[in-house]
């Protein structure tokens, strides 16, 4: 069975220049291990291809039951130079949550 991430987690976004930071936080701490196995950097890169042009780093935060993703070259130059409708990248948090994982 497949589920979208928004069924089991939520996300927050922040930005600095052309770098976007997204958190991925499961609603239930018991889903942390599942997300750890299923939401890999490779799968996230594939899901956001064409949007994120640079490196993606994932930080695991097991004591918080959360993950932090850092997306380099993700905001088309940054807030002051981007022509995107969402120069801050807030909508990319929901784009991440649209990703499907196999349960």
* CA distances for 78 relative to 18, 21, 55, angstroms: 4, 13, 16
Any idea where the domains of the chain sit in the sequence? Answer: 2-102
What mean pLDDT, rounded, does the chain reach?
88
Q: What angle do CA 45, 29, 3 make, to 5 degrees?
A: 50
Residue-wise pLDDT tens digits, 38-73 = 999 999 999 999 889 999 999 999 999 999 999 998
- For 35, the 3-state DSSP assignment is helix
pLDDT at 89 over 50: yes
Exposure pattern of 63-80 as b/e (b: 16+ CB <10 Å)?
Answer: eebbbbbbbebbbbebbe
pLDDT at 34 over 90: yes
Cβ–Cβ under 8 Å, residues 5 and 44? no
- Residue with more model confidence, 34 or 85: 34
* pLDDT-wise least confident of 10-19, 67-76, 81-90: 81-90
* Topology of the domain comprising 2-102: Alpha-Beta Plaits (3.30.70)
- pTM score, two decimals? 0.85
């Amino acid at each position: 069975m497949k589920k979208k991430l928004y069924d089991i987690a939520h996300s927050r976004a922040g930005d600095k220049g052309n770098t976007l930071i997204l958190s991925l936080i499961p609603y239930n701490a018991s889903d942390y291990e599942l997300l750890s196995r299923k939401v890999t950097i490779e799968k996230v890169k594939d899901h956001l291809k064409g949007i994120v042009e640079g490196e993606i780093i994932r930080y695991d935060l097991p004591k918080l039951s959360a993950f932090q993703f850092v997306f380099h070259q993700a905001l088309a130059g940054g807030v002051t130079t981007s022509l995107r409708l969402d120069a801050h990248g807030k909508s990319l948090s929901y784009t991440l949550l649209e990703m499907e994982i196999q349960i």
